[in-house]
Structure 1
């Protein structure tokens, strides 16, 4: 990892006071790198451009905006899918406004996405959720174009995922998209059972049940307790199922 202020401080210190100056400059630069959470020269350039480093809940919508515009034109299906993702994430009003702004930011294509995605390599469950959302956006207009596929595979590579594993997520999301209405009805009942709520439960009650289960099964919490890799994988899958179940119930019931 190339800490930019550490390098700059070390170089400036050496120019001023040889080796002792380099050591002091590097220490001061490292402290600045850690305080500002700057991990590469590319990230420093991104910050100096005035665009700033997006939050995780903003990054996903920057990617979705980039995908929506990748074939030249954003269609209504892309807009609707972005709204679905906002509901799926259960965003607050301020977070929803940030998401809309991030989606529009993504459409201009000026962000150095490699910098932001490389930072997420240590968050495999978050990376999977991000890639799945990208595939859902790619399928939003009924087909995943070659350009969209190439972008998602490239982003997966920056996240540390092999191409075949990234492509495998596409098949899963397309299968869910093309389910028949009858199977969607069964999906709704399955979602209710998974969250332990009834079809007449109040939205607030459903939300509490979802958040309680999400907290209990979150991979970060499991990993922090010294669990095995299999237990963390199982928790990641359980979290994904909870996200999907909550999204199905919200879409069926029509609440946010």
Structure 2
């Protein structure tokens, strides 16, 4: 273990007052190191260049931007999902511009998010809202990256949530399509409006048609209420999960 302020204090004290000064400087530096938990040069670097705390809409869209970029490429579906979140939160024009800026900032992956998330442990409702939005972003594309799930579970840990509680917020799992229930496959077929004999092309067409009908962006353009947009966002997640299950069971891409 290495204490940077202790070393700096000892060096400064020695230059100013010799050995007694070095001892006093080291003692004072040790107090600072322990109080600030500075046990390495990297910890000192993080402390010295600490970024302002992220909160509210800015924190949410930084998280979403980070998730969208996890797989290496931001898809159009990620952009649509971010816009749907703006509608969900009823952001005005100026707020939307700030949200876009935060989303792009999140894609860079340069923010240290732990402290901002840990501060929300005392606000479980806001933490829940963030995690639900993150799951919706993770479900934006047909094949979600396992790294997205790992990232959400890590953020949930920093928010003070148990892994099973974080997973329970996943819309698709809550609907049971990923739960392994015997009826999950039949439920997925019914949601898509197809049956066990339907050809893969017909299943794909049904999925795309329903996705178009229920997509939040389309409803937002028609002036739908926030509640209706929220329902559409959840239904989109259900459709993603149902289609993924059917595709895996039937063995087509």
TM-score normalised to structure 2 length:
0.54
> Which residue is equivalent to 1:84?
84
Contact 2:121-2:159 within 8 A present in 1 as well: yes
Q: Number of aligned pairs?
A: 173
Aligned equivalents of 1:43 and 1:247: distance in 2? 43
Aligned equivalents of 1:170 and 1:139: distance in 2? 9
Contact 1:135-1:170 within 8 A present in 2 as well: yes
Q: 1:164 to 1:98 in 2, by over 3 A?
A: same
1:80-229 alignment runs, 5 A limit: 80-171=80-171, 175=175
Structure 1, residues 188-212: CA drift from partner, whole Å, max 9, x if none?
xxxxxxxxxxxxxx98xx7xxxxxx
Q: Is the counterpart of residue 64 in structure 1 residue 64 in structure 2?
A: yes
Report the alpha carbon displacement of residue 78 of structure 1 after superposing the two structures with TM.
0.1
Aligned equivalents of 1:44 and 1:87: distance in 2? 40
Q: 1:138 to 1:48 in 2, by over 3 A?
A: same
Aligned equivalents of 2:72 and 2:176: distance in 1? 26
Report the alpha carbon displacement of residue 77 of structure 1 after superposing the two structures with TM.
0.2
Structure 1, residues 65-97: CA drift from partner, whole Å, max 9, x if none?
000000110000000000000000001222111
Report the alpha carbon displacement of residue 246 of structure 1 after superposing the two structures with TM.
5.3
Contact 2:55-2:116 within 8 A present in 1 as well: no
Q: 1:123 to 1:40 in 2, by over 3 A?
A: farther
1:7-86 alignment runs, 5 A limit: 49=49, 51-86=51-86
Deviates more, 1:72-81 or 1:114-123: 114-123
Contact 1:68-1:137 within 8 A present in 2 as well: yes
Report the alpha carbon displacement of residue 174 of structure 1 after superposing the two structures with TM.
6.9
Structure 1, residues 216-255: CA drift from partner, whole Å, max 9, x if none?
xxxxxxxxxxxxxxxxxxxxxxxxxxxx72534898xxxx
Aligned equivalents of 2:51 and 2:74: distance in 1? 22
Report the aligned-residue RMSD.
4.3
Contact 1:78-1:137 within 8 A present in 2 as well: yes
TM-score normalised to structure 1 length:
0.53
Aligned equivalents of 1:65 and 1:172: distance in 2? 21
Q: Which has the larger radius of gyration?
A: 2
Q: 1:40 to 1:159 in 2, by over 3 A?
A: farther
Aligned equivalents of 2:79 and 2:176: distance in 1? 19
Contact 2:167-2:173 within 8 A present in 1 as well: no
Contact 2:120-2:127 within 8 A present in 1 as well: yes
Aligned equivalents of 2:43 and 2:122: distance in 1? 17
Aligned equivalents of 2:91 and 2:44: distance in 1? 29
